[in-house]
């Protein structure tokens, strides 16, 4: 099934592409880890196959933004239980507030989704359980005009991948491959699971 490193690299690209486009993909919401050793589940919005980069969305007020800006090293853990495949990815993250990719991501979002950036910043303390949204937007889709101030709180996190570790779990014997990026080239090797 995965006899060559080229097969594995093609599988990596196919899985990451599907994960970014298919909400039902088991890899659609991976664990994303910042250099401050904090982890959170995030929706994978895009896999750029040409640049081998991942795109996520974030609130600029989230603690992870400061962590990424202080130290861009990041890791992402994907797992597909049915396929028994784990992908560990490492790379350098960047928070893009005003880039064309950010504008495009904002423009392609629904008003209902963008309303999340109208509320309190992530981690804001509250005396009661709260979504952080202003009361008038609980369950309500705001207009374009009402969302103008939210755009300043929206950013893209783009992770340029530097290493990929692919693990296939099989009762007949596991298989593992590691890929490291050197310039624009990816060098792969088989390693013991």
Tokens of 6: 């080229």
Average pLDDT estimate for 92-121: 96
Q: Hey, what domains does the chain have and what are their CATH numbers?
A: 5-107+153-190 (2.30.110.10)
Name the E strands within 50-136. 53-59, 73-80, 85-96
1 has pLDDT over 80: no
Average pLDDT estimate for 64-93: 98
Phi, psi for 50 (deg, rounded to 5):
-70, -45
Answer whether 118's CB lies under 8 Å from 134's CB.
yes
Answer whether 142's CB lies under 8 Å from 115's CB.
yes
For position 115, what pLDDT does the model report?
95
For position 65, what pLDDT does the model report?
98
Enter the pTM of the model: 0.94
**What is the per-residue pLDDT across 2-30, written as a single tens digit (0 to 9) for each?**
889 999 999 999 999 999 999 999 999 99
For position 2, what pLDDT does the model report?
83
**What is the per-residue pLDDT across 29-44, written as a single tens digit (0 to 9) for each?**
999 999 999 999 999 9
- Cα–Cα separations (whole angstroms), residue 162 to 30, 117, 133: 17, 30, 37
Phi, psi for 105 (deg, rounded to 5):
-65, -40
Answer whether 57's CB lies under 8 Å from 43's CB.
yes
């Amino acid at each position: 099934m995965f006899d060559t490193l080229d097969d594995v690299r093609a599988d990596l690209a196919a899985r990451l592409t599907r994960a970014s486009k298919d909400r039902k993909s088991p890899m659609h919401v991976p664990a994303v880890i910042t250099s401050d050793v904090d982890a959170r589940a995030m929706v994978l919005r895009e896999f750029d196959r040409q640049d081998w980069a991942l795109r996520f969305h974030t609130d600029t007020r989230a603690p992870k933004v400061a962590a990424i800006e202080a130290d861009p090293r990041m890791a992402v853990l994907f797992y597909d239980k049915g396929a028994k495949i784990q992908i560990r990815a490492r790379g350098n993250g960047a928070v893009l507030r005003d880039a064309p990719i950010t504008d495009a991501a904002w423009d392609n979002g629904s008003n209902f989704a963008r309303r999340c950036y109208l509320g309190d910043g992530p981690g804001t303390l509250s005396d009661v359980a709260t979504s952080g949204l202003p009361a008038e937007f609980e369950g309500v889709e705001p207009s374009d005009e009402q969302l103008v101030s939210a755009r300043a709180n929206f950013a893209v996190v783009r992770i340029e991948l530097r290493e990929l570790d692919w693990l296939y779990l099989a009762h007949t014997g596991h298989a593992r491959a590691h890929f490291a990026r050197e310039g624009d080239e990816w060098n792969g090797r088989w390693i013991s699971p």
